Structure formats: structure tokens, C-alpha cells
Chains A and B, each alone.
Chain A
């Protein structure tokens, strides 16, 4: 146990101690061993009464009561309206004392006995009343809530340390509320004797103040509150509005009529007493433990409605949502983006002063809040992971390092602030825009003060879980929570609903949870009401048209608040999936005949959305419910009807929706999704293939086109060549003939030439012969002439010789003559 726990223990301890005696001494004394108080106390709770507790309890109750009646007397109440005479008889008697016998927790029962003894004004309860008898018939109710409860419990174990401390504050609150509740009854009784009625208003008011004031284990809250009760009460009583309201002890004038009815209608009718002991054990031991020991009783108790006064506490116990760190986160988130944030950031002591050696519980707690907040910043949005990083681990850390880290974080934060403010203001706008009349439950008087809470819760969750953000639908879910508990606790419960109850799946992108539940619903409808399923299907009215808003808003979209709160009871105790499907199915079953009679689609859808819950209108309200309707009439005239919420819850519980069926349909849905996905993938791949093929085709086409043009070119070329060819052929032909001619000519020519040559030769030969002959004749002539010449020559020579001789004779004669002279 860390100091942080110790601090819580301290807070609780103060609560407890301040009640019986406001002595500071005693508180101080208790404080001294507060460090390990928690652990010890739990042990005590479960095993044996601690020595100090039993004596403490008895004085506490009387003192509370006395304080009550004591303070009441001096208050000036306005004159009461006429109180119906039958009122006392219809009052739901408080818990029967029989519970202590079956309960193994001795100190609790001891406390009860003593309480009973010390509070004589408690109305007499028929002692023979045995819940088990009534339960026997209910044994089949509620298919498997224990299973779901224990599952939730198991999951919750991881957060044990924080839960324990926060649970203890819930316990304290429960104690107080129970006490007040019973005190309220008592005081009413007293008032009745005195023929005054505002007691109811008063007790209701007390209930409200208590639930507001005790929000977080504020150490001083109880004492403060006690002191403030008088002014509160007088204020409430003197205000004209709520004054004339109600004789019912638990009806709170500030509460919405529906909330009141959720409590009163059921018990009043069935006369089932509020089983305080059972609720007490639920609160003290956890729902799982109770479910183990007396599950039927718990089921029935939940089925008949959690008493309005403790509904907020019981819800948180059922969901194990109380978590102070988360509340701190909430407080930080809700102011983010506003001026307040900067103020808190600069406030000394907030997340800063604690490093300077102030290693006390509160400091550390804030530290861890800061760290978890920063982890929220970094998108690590699962609250489960941030929540348990509790104080114990950070205690031993080096403070300087932490301080450095923190400073860095703050610096980063401030850097981010600007970007964030824009985003946040956008978010805020989106949320504000959706705060319509119906979302804000403005028809209920009580909702007036809660608008900021609604806005803050939506905003804080959107910032807390960025994967979900702000989704329309959650705004409807928030308000019923806020009717029952302060903002920061509602935030924790919302976080719990989202994460542990699976509501988150309905809101994250793609809304897989919604689609799953719609499918499950469709299949279940087919199982339970095949005719109706068929009918609706034929008219085209699918669950996604009308059931979407049921599931996304947990029926809060159109349903009367009295029913919605009861639906929440079951959701928180049984789990989300089973509960919403059961309610959906049972509403369809009850309206099957009407729906089968409708043929028009718009009539069907309107009926499915707006009138489905009308079957549970109490047409013949009992005396007490008549009172309620009078009560409703006085608060604005909406919700005039009284709904038989008990019957709705019982019917819903009677629907045999087993986890197996749900699992089966869930797997079926997943398979379907898978198939769908595969088909989609297949389709996608086909499309892809188609695309590539088209591309191919296109390229092929282009190529084909290209070759086509080529082909055309070739063809035209071919034609051209053909034509050319033809002309060439012609030319060739003519050439050929010419060649032939020429050949013929050529062939003829040698003969001619030869013949010519021969004739020429012949002539030449003949000429030659002639010439030859001539030549011979000439040669012969020549020879003759030569002979002649020779002869002539000879003659010449002889003449010459004769001439000579004659000349010599002449010379001799001349010489002789010349000599002879």
C-alpha cells in the first residue's frame, strides 16, 4: 500500500469518523494508522469485525437520524399539499432483515441488526417475507449474468489497487445514502403523522446533495455537508417549484420524473422491498462476490430496479469504474483549451510543487495524473493502460528527473496548445451543435444544471480517446449517467463502458461493433420472431434503419428515461451486448402483432422508432403509479405515461439469448465479413487485373493500330508496285519482242555476210586471177623485152665495137690522112 492509498484511506477514514463524532481527536487518532488502513480494512470487511468498527456503527445511525430530525424541525416548510391517505400503505418497506442469515459476512449483518434495533422508525416489515420464495420463480431469469459479471470482475482485477481505494469511497457514499434513504423514510413517516409532506422532497434533496458533494473522496466533504444540510434543505423546501411534489420518500424533486419512476414504479407495484442488505453487499463485496453467493437475488434486484438513490453508486460498483486518477484526467481534459487550463497550469502546487520534496499522497497522485494525461496526449488512449500506472511506482522515482520530464512535457504542451486550441474549439463547436433539446433532456427540470457536464463529458472523452473522438450518439449516453453521479465519476463510468463493456467498438471508425450487433440482432430476430423478421425484410425495413439508434445511444435516443435507466441497470450488470440485444428482441416480440399489421414502410419505421415502448405503458396504473403520473403531470407534462419498467426488464431477462448464440453469430458475422472482405479483395484484384489487362489491350490496340497503318502503307505500296510492275511487264514484253527481232536480225546477218564475203572473194579471186594472168603476160612481155634488150644491147655492143673499129679506122684514116698529107 502506497501513500496514495493511504491518502484515500485517510479520506475515507475522515468520512467515517466524522459521522459518529466530529471530534478532531478521534479523526487524528484514526489518521495515525491510516497508511495501511485500506488493506486491513478489506480483510476486516471480509472476515471478522474489527474491534473498533461495531461500536462505531451503532452510534452512527442514530446520530445521523437524530441529526436529521433535529435539523428538520426548525426549517420552515411551505404548507404541504393534501397528502393522499393511502400513501403510507403503498410505501415500499425497507430491507427485510432476513438477509443477515444467509450472509456470510457477520459484521455486516451485525451492523444491520443493530441498525434495526437502533432505528425504530423503520416501517415494520413482514418478517416472514422470504426473498428466496419469490426468487424461485425467477430462477430462470437472466441467462448468464454471473458469467459476464465475473468476467468484468476478472478484467478489473488489474486495477485492484486503485479500485479498492475508490471503492471504499463508494462504500462510504453508499452507507450514507442508505442511511439517508432510510432516514428519509423515517422522516416521512414522522411527517405523515404530523400531516406534513415535504419530507419526501427533503430526503430526495439530501440524496442529491449527497451524490454531488461526495463526488470524490474529498476528505472534508462529509462534515461540510452535514453542516450545510440545513441551509440546503431550507432552500429546497422554500423554493416553490419542488415544494408540492411527492409523497414518495425517494422521489427527488430535482430528479427527472423518469429517474424517480424508474425506482418507484416497480417496487411500488410488486411491493418488493428495497433490499438494502443485498445492495450493501454488492457495494461492499463487489458484484462478482454477490453473484457467486446469491446470484438470483442480485438478478432479481437488478431486474426490479436499482433504487434511484443509490443507482449511481451501484452502477459504479457494477462497472468498477471508480478511479480517482481518471477523474483527475477528466478535470484536466475538461478545461483543456479554455482559459482555466492556463490558470491551473500555472497554479503552484498543481503538478509542480509536489516535486519539491512534498512526497505526500496528493502530490504524487497529481503527478501520476499528469503522466497519464500526457500519455493520453501521445495517443496512448486506452485508459486501462493509463489507469493502473498508479502512485506506487512513481514514488521512488528521482524527483528531479520527474520534474525535468514534467517541465518538458509542459513545454511541449504549451507548444501544442495553439494547434490544439483550434482543434478543441472545433470539437467544442461540434459538440455544442448537437446539444439539442432531446440530447440535453431539457424537458427534465433536473437537467438544467447538467448541461455543462454533458458538454464537458463529451469533450473530455473526445480528447481522452482520440481514436473515438466525439461521435454522435455518445451525447445521448452521457445524460442518464449524469442524472445519477457527478461529472468526473460519470466520465470514469463512460470510459469503463467504452472499454470494458465494448461500447467503444460501436463508435470507433467503421463502427464494427455496431455492424456486429446489428447482425446479431437480425439473426436473433430471425430466431425468435421469424414471421416478423420476414415481414420487415420484405418491406425493406432492416435493423440498421431502426436499431442503429438503439445501440448507439443505448436506447436513450427516443425511449423514455424511466426505461432507459432500467436498461442501463441491466447493461451494467450483465454486459452491453447481451442486454441491448435482449431489450431489442423483447421490444420486437411485444410489438410483433402490431408490426405485422403494418404494411407501409414509413409507418413501420416511425413505429419502430417512436412507439415501440408504448406496449409498456401502464394503462391501469396502480394507486402508487397514479400518484406518479400526477407527479409527472406537474413537471412539464411530457412522460405522462407510466411505464411498466419492471415488466420490460423481466421480459428482457426472460429472453433466452445465450452467450453461445451471441458468440456463434459473432463468428458468423466475422466470417461473413471475412468473406465480404475476401470478395472485396477478390474484386479489387480482379479490378486490378482488369485494369492491367485494359492497359495491355490498349497497348495492343495501339500496336494493332500501328501495324494496321503499316499494313495499309504496305498495301498501298504493293498496289503501287503492282501497277509499276505491270508497266514494267509491258515494257519488258515490248523489249522482248525487240530482242527477238534483233536476234532474228542477228541470226540472219552472218549468212548474208558470208555470202557477201564469198561473192566478194569470188570476184576478188577472179580479179586476182585476171590480174595474175595479166601479170604473167606482162612478165612474159617483160622477158621478151629483156631478150630484145639483150639483143639490142648486143647489137648496140656490136655497133659500138664496129663503131669503134670504124672510128679507129676513121682515126687511122684521119691520122693517115693527117700523116699522109
Chain B
């Protein structure tokens, strides 16, 4: 989008193809909807095939226009996935922190991406549904209209019983895996919006300058480093205060 209008000096802008992968019902579409429309829907219908959306991400030195390909998560649709991650410069591999199997699936996707996708692809591992993990009984009741869904989702896991924390994937496990594979790592909540924008900002920053096909691909390399740093700070900060945020809303 060259018409980033509002800014006085037009920043260099470039488009980035980003694909979302992950098991069914981990919240891929919800993440995108939160990022693009800042909106959240309970009981979203499953994505059939794929959806395409765009959203701009403003960095200090440039504007990145994300072309987001949101894919269907069900195993059955796996044969369609290569069409979507072909030529993608970034991938968001999403899992559900309340479902251990979804991390395995995410790892499969990461492996497949590393094997099949374009070599320089930036992969972010995202654990979604953070709101469920931090939920304690008190906050559950305070969520009002949402808690029906929260409990419903909690019931999906067999062993959840009375525990307030539905988390099944410890942050450490996923973080260790992400570090091992050199992935960006975030825990998000599409429902509360926690960390959602940060994921995309971090991806935007991690896209190497050279792989940008925008009109003018010049940007401050030093700035890039600084940005990434701040993102990292942000991440840890958010992680620390995560539970509080969950409570607050």
C-alpha cells in the first residue's frame, strides 16, 4: 500500500505473504480476525479451504502489508496447504496451549515448512488461548457472557476436572522447542487480544530486508535490530504480566 497517507514522509512499504498453519480449532482464524479487525467471535464456524485477508503493520522505518492466508486446519485439508505456503515469506504456526496434541501438529508443520517452503521463511510458533490458561475461578465468573464458552472449551479436555488452569503445554516446553528450531515464539489470546499485534510486529521485523519485494526495500538495519530487541522485551514483559491481564478482563 503506497498510500499510507497519514505519515508526512512516505515510508517504504512492502508486502509480505504470511500463512497460518496449525491444527483444527486452535484459533488461527480468530487470531487473524483479532489482528485485522480487532474483533473476536465465539463459536466461529470452521474455515473451509482458505481465507485471504490483508493488514498493514507500521514499523518506524517502513510499512509492511501482510497478505494473510488463513488455512483450514483439519487434517483432511492438508493436501491444500502447499498451495498456500508456497512462496510465503512468513508463517504463523499456531497451537492451542490447552491441547498437547496441537503442539505436535505444530511441530509437524514446522518440519514441513522447513523442508518444503521457501528457504528464508520466518516462522513464528504461537500458543493461542492464553486466556484459558490464566483463568482462575474468579476471573471465569467475571468474564460474564464468555464463560459459557470458556467452560465448554475446558470440558473438551478430558482431565480438566475442577482445575482452573486448562493449560496443557507448559511455556517452557514450547519455548525450548522454538529456540531449538530458531522460531519466534509467543503465547497469545485472540479472545483478549494479548500479544496478537506483537506477533505480527515481530514477524515484520524479522523479515530480512533483502527478501522484501516492496517498491523500495531500504530500511535502517540498525533500527531493525533495535526493534527486535524491544519486541523481545515486550514478549517477556507480556508473559510476566499475562495472568494479570487475563484477570483484568
Contact = CB atoms under 8 A, between A and B. Distances in A.
Interface of A: 425, 429-430, 433-439, 469, 471-473, 475-476, 507, 509-511, 515, 542, 544-549, 552-553, 557, 600-602, 605, 609
A549 B48 contact: yes
A602 B46 contact: no
A473 B48 contact: yes
A433 B152 CA distance: 9
The 4 A-B residue pairs with the shortest CB-CB distance, nearest first, are: A548-B49, A436-B45, A549-B48, A605-B52
Given A433-B25, A435-B43, A509-B76, A552 B54 contact: no
B67 interface: yes
A78 B182 CA distance: 71
A511 B76 contact: yes
15 contacts: A430-B24, A436-B43, A471-B76, A472-B24, A472-B72, A472-B74, A475-B46, A511-B79, A515-B79, A548-B48, A557-B45, A600-B54, A601-B52, A602-B52, A609-B51
B184 interface: no
A469 B77 CA distance: 13
Contacts of A437: 43, 45
Contacts of A600: 54
A552 B46 CA distance: 12
Contacts of A542: 83
A475 B48 CA distance: 11
Nearest to B69: A545
B44 interface: yes
B100 interface: no
B218 interface: no
Nearest to A506: B76
A438 B47 CA distance: 11
Given A429-B156, A436-B43, A544 B48 contact: no
A507 B24 CA distance: 16
Nearest to B36: A602
B79 A438 contact: no
Nearest to A543: B49
A509 B80 CA distance: 11
Contacts of A609: 51
Contact of A472 (B52, B67, B76, B158): B76
A510 B76 CA distance: 7
A545 B24 contact: no
B45 A545 contact: no
B30 to A, nearest CB: 11
A433 B23 CA distance: 13
Contact of B80 (A475, A511, A602, A605): A511
Given A436-B44, A437-B43, A471-B74, A552 B79 contact: no
Contacts of A544: 49-50, 80, 83
B43 to A, nearest CB: 4
Contacts of B160: none
A510 B79 contact: yes
Interface residues of B, number: 24
A476 B49 CA distance: 13
Interface of B: 24-25, 43-54, 67, 72, 74, 76-77, 79-80, 83, 156, 158
Contacts of B43: 435-437
A430 to B, nearest CB: 7
A601 B48 contact: no
A510 B78 CA distance: 8
A556 to B, nearest CB: 10
A430 B74 CA distance: 10
Contacts of A436: 43-46
B84 to A, nearest CB: 9
Contact of B48 (A425, A433, A476, A602): A476
A546 B74 CA distance: 17
Contacts of B67: 601-602
A519 to B, nearest CB: 13
Contacts of A438: 45
A511 B77 contact: yes
Contacts of A602: 52-54, 67
B3 to A, nearest CB: 12
- Which residue, of B52, B72, B74, has the highest number of chain A Cβ atoms within 10 A? B52
A439 B44 CA distance: 9
B195 to A, nearest CB: 23
Given A436-B44, A511-B80, 6 more contacts: A430-B24, A434-B46, A436-B45, A511-B76, A544-B80, A547-B49
Nearest to B153: A433
Contacts of B79: 509-511, 515
A552 B50 contact: no
Nearest to A473: B48
A553 B49 CA distance: 10
B176 to A, nearest CB: 28
A433 B49 contact: no
Given A429-B156, A436-B43, A507-B76, A545 B50 contact: yes
A761 to B, nearest CB: 109
B190 to A, nearest CB: 15
Contacts of A546: 49
Given A472-B76, A511-B77, A552 B83 contact: no
B54 to A, nearest CB: 4
